[in-house]
Amino acid sequence: MSGLKNSGKKAVDAILNPQKIDVAFQKFTRPTAGAGKTIFPTSQRDLKNIGFHFDLSDHTRQLPDNRPNAKPGTTRTSNVIKWQAAAQAESKSIKDWIKKNGQHAVIQTLEVPEDATKEEFEEILRTAANKL
C-alpha cells in the first residue's frame, strides 16, 4: 500500500471516528463555507493530525439516483469537494506528495449528495481513500 493511500485511510478513519462523524457529515452534506473554502477540518490541530483538508468547489453536480427505491431518471444534487494535502501535515508521504504535485493540487474530487445518509457518506470516503 502506498504511503499516501495509508495516510488517506488513516484520515478517513479519523473523520469517521464516532466523536467527529456527526460534525463531518453535516459539513460535507450541508456545507456553510463558501466556494473554495475548507469545509473540514476546521481546527489547526485536526488539520495537522489528519494531514488533508476538504474544500468546497464552486458548483454542485446532478448525479443519477442509484438508490433501490429511486424512480428511473431521478437525480440527486451533490456537493463537489476537493480532497487536498495539507501543508501542515506531519506525514512524510503527504509532504512528498506536496513537493511533487504542489500545495494546492487536488488529490481527488468527491461528490457527496446533499441528502446522503451517514452510511453513504462513509462509503464515499472509504472508496475515495482506496483509490489513492
CA distance 52 to 92: 13
Which pLDDT tens digit goes with each residue over 84-94?
999 888 889 99
Joined together, the cell numbers standing for residue 127 give 472508496
In this predicted structure, the answer to whether residue 1 has a pLDDT above a threshold of 80 is no
Residues whose CB is less than 8 angstroms from the CB of residue 29 and which lie 6 or more positions away in sequence, other chains included: 79, 112, 113, 114, 115, 116, 121
In this predicted structure, the answer to whether residue 74 has a pLDDT above a threshold of 90 is yes
| Residue type at 4 in one-letter notation | L
**pLDDT on residue 22:** 96
In this predicted structure, the answer to whether residue 2 has a pLDDT above a threshold of 90 is no
Task: Please report, rounded to a whole number, the percentage of residues in the chain having pLDDT higher than 70.
Answer: 99
**pLDDT on residue 3:** 87
**pLDDT on residue 104:** 87
